[in-house]
Amino acid sequence: MRRFHFRLQHVLNMRAHARKQVELRLGVVTAECNALDIELEALAQKRTEGQKRVHGYESVLRSIQYRSKYIAWIDQESTRLQALRAEAEMRRLAVVDEYNAALQQEKVLQKLKERREKEYYRSAAAEEERHTEDLVSDGYIRGRGLNG
The pLDDT-based confidence of 43 (bands split at 50, 70, 90) is very high
pTM of the model: 0.70
pLDDT above 60 (res 55)? no
Q: Which of 4-13, 27-36, 69-78 has the highest mean pLDDT?
A: 27-36
CB 63 within 8 A of CB 104: no
- Residue % of the chain over a pLDDT of 90: 62
